[in-house]
Amino acid sequence: MQTNRVKKILKEGGLALGTYTGGIADPQIVEIIGHAGFDAAFIDMEHTSFDLRDVQLMVMAAERVGITPIVRTPGFDPAFILRLLDMGVQGIQVPHISDARAARAAVDAVRYAPLGDRGIAGASRASDYGKISMKDHMAQSNREITLAVMVEDLPALAEIDAISSVEGVDIVAVGPSDMSRALGVGGISDHPKLVETILRVADAVRKGGVARLALPMNHPTLPRNAKQLKELGVGYCNCAPAPEVRILKSMQAQVAEARG
């Protein structure tokens, strides 16, 4: 397992830049992300039709260009998370974490004992098919795997101090779209209720001292640039838009210019 580029940046207090692979199930998207200079490819299994074979090839592409493959799972399922980890995924992001108990369960699913309760496979791809000892593999995985928990619902706000203090969580990520929906202000850009909530979460993460905050860059619901994110204490961000949007806008501009 290669060094987790995102985790290294988080520990150094920097801002790691990731971007979305979108719904394009092709490893070349991941290679392009790496060649562009991003630190991570965000592979979303919550809102796409990706299957495990798609993800496996994208993970291999991420390894080739030296970036961190982060997978957002469809929900919380320890057995599913285990399959992702055993194939070599370096970052797991679990959506809709509403309390500290759920955050601790995510830690259990991602970390080997004594830090968690992840199941052991003797010759997984993540252990180089058994080339390295299980002891070394377990220590390496606990050191290199990044766990992000997403707070996107109102119950999470009541528990945010506890969630932010759970050992083993590396990133507390706010989902602006779902959080704004939960606050009753969905579809409204930069609404004061959402901004207040973001500041509340940022303060809790800072006080918790175990994780870094994650927010997207240039998100339509919460438009913030890199400087503004750093001021909030953000350690990881996904840079919008998704590749489909980038391609579409570029093509539209070309067509408009040609027809004009």
Rounded Cα–Cα distance for residues 72 and 68 (Å)? 13
State both tokens at 242: 């998704």
Q: Residue 208 is inside which H or E element, if any? A: helix 192-208
Burial class (CB in 10 A: 0-12, 13-18, 19+), 22: buried
| 3-state SS track over 119-162 | CCCCCCHHHHHHCCCHHHHHHHHHHHCEEEEEECCHHHHHCHHH
State both tokens at 100: 């500290």
Burial 114-129 (b: 16+ CB within 10 A, else e): eebebeebeebbbbee
Rounded Cα–Cα distance for residues 72 and 27 (Å)? 17
* Residues 83 and 110: beta-carbon distance below 8 Å: no
* Residues 168 and 147: beta-carbon distance below 8 Å: yes
Residue type, 157: L
47 is catalytic: yes
Rounded Cα–Cα distance for residues 121 and 129 (Å)? 10
Given the residues 47, 96, 137, 219, select the one marked as catalytic: 47
Rounded Cα–Cα distance for residues 116 and 198 (Å)? 29
Q: Which residues are catalytic?
A: 47
